[in-house]
Amino acid sequence: METKPPVPLAVLVGIQTPEVDDVAHEASLEELGRLVKTLGYQVVGTVSQKREGTGAGSLLGSGKLAELAALTGGTGVVSSIAPPPRAKARQRFEGADETAPSTEAETDAARKPEFVIVDHELSPSQIRNLERATDAQVLDRTGIIVEIFHRHANTREAKLQVEMARLKYVAPRLRESSGGGGRQQGPGAGESNLDLDRRKIRDRLAELKEQLEAVQRDSDHRRSARRDQLRVALVGYTNAGKSSLMRALTGSQVLVEDKLFATLDTTVRILQPETRPRVLVSDTVGFIKQLPHDLVASFRSTLTEALEASLLLYVVDASDPTYEAQLEVSRSVLREIGADVVPSRLVLNKMDRVDAARRAALVEKHPDAIPLSAHSVGDVSALRETIVAFFEESMVEDVLVLPYAKQGLIGEVYESARVLSEEYDENGRVMKVCGLPGALARLQRSLAAR
């Protein structure tokens, strides 16, 4: 009978610097634990230390380093004469086995954690030092996020984006394996194994960039076709409930999971019940503290959905005590691409998890926000009416004359505008319509050109 491989065990490491208070530090470690769980690992311990900064070679002081090593089975000493560690980053990002198969005699109680997960971005030397001291594989926060993105990407565009970010992350962390850094023979002679690996990454990045540009041209074309339509983008911190709200607003079967970064691919659906003109709702990738810049740059198309939307709904988990910090992270990322000028509303989601006192405090603090639960039909219906009312404020009335010879355009008219009345005269169908100025101008151009 085939046995399942054991769940990888991990220890979390956090450094609390002077500018971070206790609440924020604990929240960050808790979030890291959820990231690790999303990756399929089990957290079995936490080591935390207050320090002035995160620049020390081994990150931790000698006492905390020994405490960490005791959990993982390491020596707790960064020895310069220790044999070079295996190229763990290379194995990690080239699909090597994460853990060796356990023997029958080995039980969960006897196993030592195989991973040390640090709640900061580490330099290659810090990773190397921690691995020597702990005899465990070390991953930083960025590495965990990149790996989760890699596992959750589904569309071709997302896969290309994530692979680029992944290679950019691993390239500076490559190092020679204990097998030596001998020189290559034949093609590429004179290059070390490390040089060859890095050259392969550079070549692959150039190839990925070319492929991604081609895919994004198609995405840009599709967005251009939707430019004059009513568009709402759901934005916010990961796991704030955007996908649940998307499903409730549109009736679509988008993925809903209680995991971080369950959604990476942009999903566009029609607001239900359908309006005239119809409203498109976009579900976007969630943000997170210390989101790697390469991932922000790679997910240009997803962020462009927010930039080109007519209305942004900032969705926050109102039951999370750190929701304000999470909201600021979302706003900061969108400021980077200039989307902070797009009209927006704050949506306080998961209010069904909030008691009466906290609900009153939230409403008082954010009087213009929309409090709701994505699982409440009444709340979702009220949000829909708010969205429709927002767009109606921007609509204008116009008259379109549809000649009898051009009745084939009637579907385009009904899709892009609300028809208020119809009459017929010798010129054709005379339609009084209501819609966005850009959409009506496009319709007038279509009628004049055909």
Please tell me the distance from the alpha carbon of residue 368 to that of residue 17, in angstroms, as a whole number. Answer: 35
Please tell me the distance from the alpha carbon of residue 298 to that of residue 121, in angstroms, as a whole number. Answer: 19
> pLDDT value at position 16?
93
The model's confidence at residue 227, banded by pLDDT at 50, 70 and 90, is low
| 306 within 8 A of 339, measured Cβ to Cβ | yes
To the nearest whole percent, how much of the chain has pLDDT over 90? 41
Domain 227-393 has CATH 3.10.129.10: no
As a whole number, the mean pLDDT across the chain is: 82
Cβ partners under 8 Å of residue 333, min gap 6: 287, 291, 296, 303
What CATH number does the domain located at 9-149 have? 3.40.50.11060
Looking at the predicted structure, is the pLDDT value of residue 68 above 80? Answer: yes
> pLDDT value at position 206?
93
Query: Which residue spans of the chain are classified as CATH 3.40.50.300?
Result: 227-393
Looking at the predicted structure, is the pLDDT value of residue 2 above 70? Answer: no
The model's confidence at residue 316, banded by pLDDT at 50, 70 and 90, is very high
> pLDDT value at position 148?
84
Tens-digit pLDDT profile for residues 334-392: 888 788 899 999 999 999 999 999 999 999 999 999 999 999 999 999 999 999 999 99
Structure-block tokens of residue 40: 């399929």
Please tell me the distance from the alpha carbon of residue 23 to that of residue 30, in angstroms, as a whole number. Answer: 11
For the ranges 258-272, 326-340, 369-383, 416-430, the one whose mean pLDDT is highest: 369-383
The model's confidence at residue 223, banded by pLDDT at 50, 70 and 90, is low
The structural architecture, per CATH, of the domain 395-449 is 2-Layer Sandwich (3.30)
Looking at the predicted structure, is the pLDDT value of residue 257 above 60? Answer: no
Looking at the predicted structure, is the pLDDT value of residue 180 above 50? Answer: no
Query: Considering only CA atoms, which of 84, 139, 149 is closest in space to residue 116?
Result: 139
> pLDDT value at position 299?
62
Query: Which residue spans of the chain are classified as CATH 3.30.70?
Result: 395-449
Looking at the predicted structure, is the pLDDT value of residue 19 above 60? Answer: yes
Please tell me the distance from the alpha carbon of residue 232 to that of residue 370, in angstroms, as a whole number. Answer: 15
Q: What is the pTM of this model?
A: 0.76
Query: Which residue spans of the chain are classified as CATH 3.40.50.11060?
Result: 9-149
The model's confidence at residue 221, banded by pLDDT at 50, 70 and 90, is low
Looking at the predicted structure, is the pLDDT value of residue 14 above 50? Answer: yes
Stronger pLDDT, 298 or 434, i.e. the higher one:
434
Please tell me the distance from the alpha carbon of residue 86 to that of residue 66, in angstroms, as a whole number. Answer: 22
| 241 within 8 A of 326, measured Cβ to Cβ | no
